[in-house]
Structure 1
Amino acid sequence: MQLPTRILLLTAVLAAASTLRAQPAASVPSANPADAPPAFADETVRLERFEVTGVPIEDSVNPLTRPLESLFGDSRSVLETPRSASTITQALLRERGIEGVREFVAFAPGSYAPASYGKATIPNIRGDLAETFLNGQRLSYNNFGVMPSFNGVEAVDIVRGPGSAIYGSGFFTGGYVNYTTKRPKFTRETTVTARLGSWVPRGGSWLNGSWQVDTTAPAADGKSAWRFSYEGKEDDTFFKNHGGRDDRQDLFASWIREANDALTLEANAQYMWQATPQLLGVNRPNQELIDHGRYYTGDLPDLGYSDAGALAGTIPGTTWVDLPRDATLLSVGDFSNANIVRGQFIATLQLAPEQKLVNRTLAEYVDRRRYHAFEYAEWAEQTTFENRTEWHASFEQGGLAHAVIAGGTLRWEDRLGYTNYFNEYFFQYDLTRPNRVFSHTADYPNSYWPGFAGPGGRLFFPASYGSPETTDSTLWNPALFAQDEVRFSEKLSLLAGVRLDGFYAKATDPLGTAAENPWSDTHRDTATSWNASLIYRVTPKATLYATHQRAYAVHGNVTGGGIMLKEDAQGRGIIDPDDFKNLSKLTEAGVKLSLLENTLYAGAAVYEQHRQEVELGGDVKNLKFRGAEVELVYQPTTRFNATFNAAFIDGRFDHSSATQAGGPSLYNLYAAGHGPGGRGNGLGFQWDKLPPGDYRIPGLSRWVVNSSFSYRFPSGFGGGLGGSWQSEQPGNLTNEYHIPAQVFLNAFLFYRQPTWEVDVEILNVLDRRNWIHNGDNYSNNVLVFQDLPLRVEGYVKFRF
């Protein structure tokens, strides 16, 4: 980190400390003594659970009421957590109708959801894609993969930065999302929910229907309880005229048994089937399209290959039309199907008042297929197994109190993937033409590069053809970890952790024999990651922290997360040793406050982070980020709550570059003198990159502000608003177009009674034609997404 940044972080911490010291000491909020480690039981500053008068836990949206368990392996209050993280409680999920990534990022500063080829499966956190955890264990790689299920989710934690020594970092190091599953209740309860919609006033309405049955009850012995939730969905989508559907079947079950005072057993399992095609959005982005909706028409002729080794020809660019709101690069017959099976078992054994053992076992199998006529094909199988054992102990040594977590993890990943993107260009099709089947094989037979037959008879390309996403790989990842929080005084403690990872990888090209180039390789490696945090409790309700972390992760390919094979100088296919040196360096400082008798949570952080990211084809780019975040959650009663967060982030390439489809300029794709502003240069599709530099990251706003509120009258009627303001975003690396500052605003009305409720949601209230960047550099010049227009949705819920 540069010296000015260090000074900035230190100044921020000292300034906050001075301000907080001037405040009068507040009384200690009530806490549950059983939640605190015994060695700290007599220290009243150790807080694990806040109780806000008049707001039951199940109705609270305040993160102060829910301990965080998804960061440092223990149960600690948000004030005691020395990292920037946001909690979406069960009440907030229910209150705001959150059922997807785009809904929950509004409650976590520094998080956003790009279009992601029309399939937002994971959010971006601090400028990078996020990992996905389930009850503290990392799931399979899921970029562009399967839509997250909220059928079995009870709460969501969004963590900025990599996982700690306990959890380890994954493929992505910007941050992660931890989904906490629904736990059984020891009281009988059933909830039935039916969703209806969506009505679009200006046309384009569709039947967006889903249904859910969630039931729980205790067993006859009173020591066990179970829960079962089923959700089905039949959705035509706004793009139904293009064949766009969103159909799902989802079954979730959980079980808990308190065998005795020392042993607790928990299990959950889930099966999901999804048929959710990627809705690619609009090709040919430019400033006239963004500002005025002007779409330049005309298909490319079939001219074979250019001297650049790409599809020849340019967009005529002589005429334009007003682009329809449902225009998308999706053809009837395109599909994206997935079957997912996962199970998890957690055993907790209390060895003594100061010691316990926790063992977590996770198994997951993902089988997904994807095909687009334009032409992209993907077939992936992902099998993941992880077992982690943790020893928790609290004791005094050398006159200091310690809280230790130590143990080991064994993780196994098996990835089999086939891909075909050799004929994928996007820009050549006119979305407004009468024939909306965008088929490369039918439209450009003279410009078609044939692949090799793979699963289902589809054509794919081997790794030896420069497609490292086609791979059959295994990765054994054993790890040892230790973490200790040392209390130097009632106010000051040091939380430090270290993790040693071993990597044993093997990769084979499954099409190697067919291509007469049977690539295969093995590789062994190790990595040591660590994190350290100083925590200073100014008062029982105010905490300062400073954190530094160095975390290593493995680069996998961007379609399934498998180990890649790349060509070396001798023409051999090898596993790149540098793919095991993905280092994230994070420095962060912050303050966390409990105010107004615990009804207001406030947090703020500043940070700097350096990390890497892999793009399609296996190339790696270096990134750097600096930013600041503020978060407020206020809930004085069960009838009113409000949230506010703001984030500033300066995200840039760190003397690096990236591939943009078409080359350095989007005007390569237009005929000379035509297209937007007459700036077409007639070069056609190019493969060359810009020179390394400190380019702003496309699609990333410097400022994002989110806010929401909800109010319910005594009668049960209520409503609220939720909005987001985003500053301008560069469209590509040279900012040849940009997405201007935009406002997203949603409203909701409801009527709630103890046994039933009705909710009506009005989305995009202002009916603005907002645009969403696709989120990856490869598509900068060829894809952008239109947000959906004003629409009305709703649901009814019954409780028994």
Structure 2
Amino acid sequence: MYVSRFRTLMLVTTAIGIAGSAFADEPAPTPSTDYEEIIVYGSDKVGLIETTPRDSLFGIDKPLTETPRAATFISDQTLLRYGIEEVDDLMAIAPGSFTASYFGVKGSVNLRGTIAETYYRGFKRIENRGTYQTPLAAAESIEILRGPPTALFGAGKVGGFLNISPRSGRDANGQIKTRTTGNIEVTTGSYDKFNLGGNLTLPVEIGNIVGAVNIYAEYENSGSFYKGVHPEHKLLQMASDFDLNDTTTLAVGALIYNSSGYIQTPGWNRLTQDLVDTGTYITGRDTTIKDTNGDGRIAPNEIGSSLIAGYFGTKPNPNARFTLDEGVGTAKLDRRTVMVSDADFSETDTKTFYADLSKKIGDSTRLRVQGFYDQLKNQRFVSYGFPAWYEARIFELRGSADFALDLPAIGLESKHVVGMSYRDYNGFRKESFNSGYVALDRRDLTYGATATDIFADPFSMPSLGWDNDIKSTWNDIGAFLMSDMTFGGLVNVMLGARYDWYKLDSTDRGKSTGSSILTAATSGGDFTWNASVSLKTGTGLIPYFTYAKSSAIEGSQAGDVSPGLISNGQWLSDSDLIEGGVKFDLFNSTLVGALSAYRQNRTRLSTFDRVVGTTGKGVELEARWLVNDNISLTFAGNHQKTIIEGPDTAFTYISPEAMGIDGKYVYGGTYAVYNFATSPAGFPGSYELRSIPKTTFSLYGTYISEPMEWGQAGATIGVMHVSTTATRQANAVVFPSYELVNASAFVSFGQNQVTLNVNNLFDKHYFQPAVDTYVNLAALPGRGREFRLTYKRTF
């Protein structure tokens, strides 16, 4: 129904646009150029500096150097030269973007200590918390906004978001591309790396209508640093842009993505400080539990009672099913060996469509209608005992008008955007935690997966059923206003506000509800607003201050809202932000950046539908310097602290070290506390989230030669520093600080280009902490030295 509805929208939008051009009876006014032109005097060969103001974040043309919010612009050229392929790599260029391991799958980036949302052309996509790897190669640019989304984008939490602007049929100045261009590239590298991609732009003329179509396609079929992981994906992106007449534009596009092999892994289990410090792993297997029917996995009837035991402050008695009784000892663990099995899988399909019709009226007014559709299908199984099945669809329709209003009598120059939006969600989420039979430490990684540490799942045994089986629908009708006002050419005020009215309906038929079906429905609304003020000093320094208050839905991994959250009134949560700083644009726009400080309060949805409050505060510095025509430098750093607001009553797995027990008596099962705040393994009040480092920074330098008779060459080298991190329990395992050095070099000759990227140049050993439930039991060893060699041919 949603696809057909969106196709109808695209056809209607196209028809209206073409009709508008056909019936235009007089020449259109010359397009307005009422924004300040940005002139860059240095030679920006890496795409570090904005060349024109952008409206992709706020709907209003405004340079980031004058925008009173912490924001980062990343061009496709920067992605290429810095070797950025995954969201975790964004730490090389964006402050505060260190991301802990979401079971090894790079789905969403963390910003300011909390998971960020992902947008596509200004529309929020369905949640992706490690479901599939977010593709970046199809992007023309990426914008990162730290703080809540703008009123135009819809309701969202503070913390931040990533907005992907896809390749299109327009150039950097917004003009339709008039030449047929393209390229094809192939990449090979470490661990059977293979990627084939191609990009094609075709100009189009239909009568008086001019346009261009951009098509990007990519195929990946590779091995991995981690043994047993073989990622494969196929991607097709199409973007069509048309000038229907001098005042009317149309954009229509799609992104189709299919992946397999991006299986989730917690990394190393049986986590101890000795394992982190020396790589010494406790070996051994429990043989008490048998695979009696020989199907290659264990089911509840073969296990008996739960493999999870409660810890209440006293040392537990020995349990034969928890005790390792074969192959007990120690061994050095290879960093490439992580928890995977042949039974693990993850299959994902996403489909994304958009349409955008824009009409200019006079010199200063624009009407705009936009449509967006996003679909996610994912089935996965992680053999330690977590199967999941997600299907979700989002449809959003947005109408807006933007206009300028200048009042010279009082020295006011202003731009405004006003509009309404409708967003509709329909989806389901099925998950199982094997009803208490999950035991992450049962598997001996030195021995490999066995039938007695691969747990049964509803895919292979439908009679097991699902612990959570949630069907959820909701819609959101919103109205928004944004204003950008400058008084006397000196003081700038930006205001944004929106009101959202929600209607929700959710049903859970899973086993965790008992014999009954849990159903809940509700409706309600709330305001979101932000206010910023900045001062144009004329010195290249622009101090600013921002306050924002936001209200947003507590969605899960599939974007659904559980009936439990609706019943207890936690489906809508508030967050707020105080931020101040100074933007700088110095030396004829060759040194730009920002220094900012913030304090934010927000919530996050944790395991078992628990809403956890967090308070974060920090300082960030971002600087980009074009030293001369050949050399550029960038710095991105932050110092932060994120506090979990107590008391934290969560169910939490804990390690044997927290109980003072030798692991060989525990690893056949697992222990947990049912209230983290009252347990000696936890904290009675608020505590620091140590899986996010206090300090991170990156320093990168690039040299690119002048064009010569034979071609051009260049190189980039950078270092990223991450301070110590730790698990969550009181007797925490500490992961040491580290520095990673990445390098790349390229040479271009004629229509050919060869690029070499080397990540972790000095093969540094490091760890990424796990998240949520298993943070005390596992960590992902960082990838060692890897290289990629890419050949590209343009035409």
Q: Do both share a fold (TM > 0.5)?
A: yes
* Alignment match of 1:640 (pick from 613, 622, 631): 631
Distance 1:155-1:314 versus aligned 2 partners, 3 A rule: farther
**2:443–2:450 contact (8 Å) kept in structure 1:** no
Partner of 1:424: 438
**1:408–1:481 contact (8 Å) kept in structure 2:** yes
Please tell me whether residue 649 in structure 1 is matched to residue 634 in structure 2: no
Distance 1:432-1:438 versus aligned 2 partners, 3 A rule: farther
Tell me which amino acid in the other structure corresponds to 1:128: T
* Alignment match of 2:730 (pick from 718, 734, 752): 734
How far apart, CA to CA, are the structure 1 residues paired with 2:64 and 2:769? 33
Partner of 1:504: 503
**Residues 540-555 of structure 1 correspond to what in structure 2 (within 5 A)?**
541-555=540-554
Tell me which amino acid in the other structure corresponds to 2:544: Y
Partner of 1:772: 768
**1:555–1:614 contact (8 Å) kept in structure 2:** yes
* Alignment match of 1:620 (pick from 593, 611, 624): 611
Partner of 1:698: 690
How far apart, CA to CA, are the structure 2 residues paired with 1:584 and 1:376? 31
How far apart, CA to CA, are the structure 2 residues paired with 1:674 and 1:472? 40
Distance 1:768-1:779 versus aligned 2 partners, 3 A rule: same
**Residues 203-602 of structure 1 correspond to what in structure 2 (within 5 A)?**
206-221=191-206, 223-240=210-227, 242=228, 244-275=229-260, 276-300=262-286, 301-302=288-289, 304-305=304-305, 313=322, 319-396=329-406, 399=410, 400-422=412-434, 423-435=437-449, 439-441=453-455, 457=462, 459-462=464-467, 467=468, 470-511=469-510, 516-539=515-538, 541-557=540-556, 559-566=557-564, 575-580=567-572, 582-602=573-593
How far apart, CA to CA, are the structure 1 residues paired with 2:733 and 2:670? 19
**2:443–2:453 contact (8 Å) kept in structure 1:** no
**1:698–1:733 contact (8 Å) kept in structure 2:** no
Tell me which amino acid in the other structure corresponds to 1:174: G
Q: What's the secondary structure of 1:662's corresponding residue?
A: strand
Partner of 1:667: 657
Distance 1:701-1:638 versus aligned 2 partners, 3 A rule: same
**1:79–1:541 contact (8 Å) kept in structure 2:** no
Distance 1:634-1:482 versus aligned 2 partners, 3 A rule: same
- How many residues align? The count is 720
How far apart, CA to CA, are the structure 2 residues paired with 1:563 and 1:667? 36
Q: What's the secondary structure of 1:338's corresponding residue?
A: strand
Note the aligned Cα RMSD (angstroms). Answer: 2.8
How far apart, CA to CA, are the structure 2 residues paired with 1:307 and 1:381? 30
User: How far apart are residue 318 of structure 1 and its match?
Assistant: 6.4
Distance 1:606-1:735 versus aligned 2 partners, 3 A rule: farther
Distance 1:660-1:778 versus aligned 2 partners, 3 A rule: farther
How far apart, CA to CA, are the structure 2 residues paired with 1:186 and 1:690? 64
How far apart, CA to CA, are the structure 2 residues paired with 1:401 and 1:493? 9
Q: What's the secondary structure of 2:275's corresponding residue?
A: helix
Tell me which amino acid in the other structure corresponds to 1:693: G
User: How far apart are residue 246 of structure 1 and its match?
Assistant: 0.5
**1:375–1:440 contact (8 Å) kept in structure 2:** yes
Partner of 2:299: none
**2:351–2:376 contact (8 Å) kept in structure 1:** yes
How far apart, CA to CA, are the structure 2 residues paired with 1:260 and 1:77? 27
Query: After superposition, what is the alpha-carbon deviation per residue over 1:736-757, rounded to whole angstroms, capped at 9, x for unaligned?
Result: 2111111111112221234111
How far apart, CA to CA, are the structure 2 residues paired with 1:307 and 1:248? 36
Query: After superposition, what is the alpha-carbon deviation per residue over 1:662-690, rounded to whole angstroms, capped at 9, x for unaligned?
Result: 24x552577x3567xx999x994443413
**Residues 711-750 of structure 1 correspond to what in structure 2 (within 5 A)?**
711-714=703-706, 716-734=712-730, 736-750=732-746
* Alignment match of 1:50 (pick from 38, 56, 73): 38
Query: After superposition, what is the alpha-carbon deviation per residue over 1:564-616, rounded to whole angstroms, capped at 9, x for unaligned?
Result: 1229xxxxxx5332221x11110000111111221111211001001111111
Partner of 1:25: none
**Residues 134-173 of structure 1 correspond to what in structure 2 (within 5 A)?**
134-170=120-156, 172-173=157-158
Distance 1:513-1:612 versus aligned 2 partners, 3 A rule: closer
**2:110–2:116 contact (8 Å) kept in structure 1:** yes
Tell me which amino acid in the other structure corresponds to 1:687: Y
Distance 1:779-1:308 versus aligned 2 partners, 3 A rule: closer
Please tell me whether residue 603 in structure 1 is matched to residue 591 in structure 2: no
Tell me which amino acid in the other structure corresponds to 1:342: T
Q: What's the secondary structure of 1:430's corresponding residue?
A: coil
User: How far apart are residue 655 of structure 1 and its match?
Assistant: 2.5
Structure 1: gaps (5+ residues): 1-33, 199-205, 443-450, 568-573
Partner of 2:5: none
Partner of 1:23: none
Distance 1:595-1:458 versus aligned 2 partners, 3 A rule: farther
Query: After superposition, what is the alpha-carbon deviation per residue over 1:267-300, rounded to whole angstroms, capped at 9, x for unaligned?
Result: 1111111002123311122211111111112234
Seq. identity, %: 21
Distance 1:607-1:68 versus aligned 2 partners, 3 A rule: farther
**1:60–1:638 contact (8 Å) kept in structure 2:** no
Distance 1:37-1:590 versus aligned 2 partners, 3 A rule: farther
User: How far apart are residue 784 of structure 1 and its match?
Assistant: 0.1
Tell me which amino acid in the other structure corresponds to 2:305: Y
Distance 1:228-1:476 versus aligned 2 partners, 3 A rule: same
Q: What's the secondary structure of 1:167's corresponding residue?
A: coil
